[in-house]
């Protein structure tokens, strides 16, 4: 391995609701040198110990990591002046509320830049660098799995603001005759409450991958999925929507059929209101797409966050506001 390549190695942590995926490398494909995963479970301290130990072992093997990137499920505190910067905040996930996930990494890897953002902004950044959002400065990245989240870019900057977008928790029109109460502990029938994996399982009485293709739960899930995508298109005017996460694989229905049906439902709900070649029947095949990095979108996103942090400035090592380590570009 060349010296130049060793210098570019970063550590990546994709913190998901089901598993933590860790990697080292400098990008997708052959640039991803090693990866491992640990179940998220309900013991954050144990998982974070495993993650830091794995990264330290890889560092011993491959040379010093030049930066770390953490792309996490949320909600997160991304305010660098806040005493709880680097924390997962109000998640309903058992054991994980108010958990400092950047702190243990900062302690284990003192002095190196750490990029920190939502899993979906991270995955979006990865797709922008290497995948389905290349050349696009306005796009949305959605993940639908244990939860439902969205991030992306506007005018070439990752979406941040008051906190970060929480696209999964927008309200969604009720389809006539559907009395499902949803699964979100905060809102019941928000987008996540209607379309996440646990929502499909609760509605259908068995997990999504086991459902026959003609099960009515697919029909409703696809309709609600499309309502959310129409809302996002109306609000953010993205040039593309990348739909990742496990639900889009759609088990026995299949990913290709799932996307076809989501696009058709999107077109029907949009009803021709926004006029763009991207929103025609042919255009939608390129407008609503799966991640090109596939299941590595998240961890490649964490690599991209690490690289952005390295480019943007030194690590934030204490409570003082230092140079930005999270804003990219
Ligand atoms: Zn909600």
Percentage of the chain beyond pLDDT 70 is: 93
The Cα 302–Cα 285 span in angstroms is 27
- Ligand 1 centroid to 142 CA: how many Å? 15
pLDDT at position 24: 96
Residue 43 has pLDDT above 50, yes or no: yes
From start to end of the chain, where are the E strands?
10-15, 19-25, 32-39, 68-72, 87-88, 99-100, 114-118, 139-144, 148-154, 157-158, 241-244, 288-289
Distances (CA, A) of 23 to 42, 129, 203: 22, 17, 35
Residue 219 has pLDDT above 70, yes or no: yes
Q: Which two tokens stand for residue 295?
A: 């299941």
Residue 307 has pLDDT above 90, yes or no: yes
pLDDT confidence bin for 264, thresholds 50/70/90: very high
Percentage of the chain beyond pLDDT 90 is: 87
The Cα 33–Cα 310 span in angstroms is 19
- Ligand 1 centroid to 170 CA: how many Å? 7
pTM of the model: 0.91
The Cα 257–Cα 260 span in angstroms is 5
Residue 322 has pLDDT above 80, yes or no: no
pLDDT at position 313: 65
Mean pLDDT of 74-79: 94
pLDDT tens digits, one per residue of 136-170: 999 999 999 989 999 999 999 999 999 999 999 99
- Ligand 1 centroid to 165 CA: how many Å? 13
Residue 274 has pLDDT above 70, yes or no: yes
Average pLDDT over all residues of the chain: 92
- Ligand 1 centroid to 225 CA: how many Å? 14
- Ligand 1 centroid to 231 CA: how many Å? 16
Query: Coil, strand, or helix at residue 287?
Result: helix
Residue 60 burial (CB count, 10 A) = 9
Residue 306 has pLDDT above 80, yes or no: yes
Residue 249 has pLDDT above 80, yes or no: yes
Ligand 1 is an ion; residues with CB less than 5 A from it: 169, 184, 186-187, 190
- Ligand 1 centroid to 171 CA: how many Å? 8
pLDDT at position 166: 96
pLDDT at position 316: 43
Residue 292 has pLDDT above 90, yes or no: yes
The Cα 263–Cα 216 span in angstroms is 18
Mean pLDDT of 117-142: 97
Mean pLDDT of 291-316: 87
- Ligand 1 centroid to 241 CA: how many Å? 21
If one compares 312 and 190, the residue with the highest pLDDT of the two is 190
Residue 208 buriedness (CB in 10 A; 0-12 / 13-18 / 19+): buried
- Ligand 1 centroid to 218 CA: how many Å? 20
- Domains, the chain, in order of start with CATH, read 3-118+299-312 (3.30.420.40), 132-290 (3.30.420.40)
Mean pLDDT of 70-98: 93
Query: Coil, strand, or helix at residue 252?
Result: coil
């Amino acid at each position: 391995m060349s010296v130049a390549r060793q210098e570019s190695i970063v550590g990546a942590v994709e913190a998901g609701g089901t598993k933590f995926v860790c990697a080292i490398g400098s990008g997708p494909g052959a640039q991803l040198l090693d990866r491992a995963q640990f179940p998220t479970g309900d013991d954050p301290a144990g998982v974070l110990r495993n993650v830091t130990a794995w990264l330290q072992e890889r560092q011993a093997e491959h040379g010093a990591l030049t930066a770390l990137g953490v792309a996490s499920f949320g909600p997160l505190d991304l305010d660098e002046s806040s005493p709880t910067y680097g924390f997962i905040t109000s998640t309903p996930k058992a054991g994980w509320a108010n958990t400092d996930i950047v702190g243990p990494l900062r302690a284990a890897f003192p002095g190196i830049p750490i990029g920190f953002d939502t899993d979906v902004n991270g995955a979006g950044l990865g797709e922008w660098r290497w995948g389905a959002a290349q050349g696009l400065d306005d796009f949305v990245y959605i993940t639908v799995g244990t939860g439902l989240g969205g991030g992306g870019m506007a005018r070439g900057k990752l979406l941040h603001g008051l906190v970060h977008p929480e696209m999964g928790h927008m309200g969604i029109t009720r389809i006539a005759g559907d009395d499902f109460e949803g699964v979100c502990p905060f809102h019941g029938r928000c987008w996540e409450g209607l379309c996440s994996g646990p929502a499909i399982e609760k509605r259908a009485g068995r997990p999504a991958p086991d459902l026959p293709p003609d099960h009515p739960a697919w029909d409703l899930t696809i309709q609600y999925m499309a309502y959310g995508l129409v809302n996002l298109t109306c609000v953010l005017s993205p040039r593309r929507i990348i739909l990742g996460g496990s639900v889009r694989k759609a088990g026995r229905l299949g990913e290709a059929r799932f996307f076809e049906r989501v696009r058709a439902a999107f077109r029907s709900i949009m009803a021709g209101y926004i006029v763009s070649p991207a929103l025609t029947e042919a255009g939608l095949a390129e407008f609503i797409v799966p991640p090109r990095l596939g299941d590595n979108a998240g961890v490649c996103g964490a690599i991209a966050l690490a690289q952005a942090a390295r480019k943007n400035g030194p690590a934030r090592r204490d409570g003082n506001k230092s140079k930005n380590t999270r804003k990219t570009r």
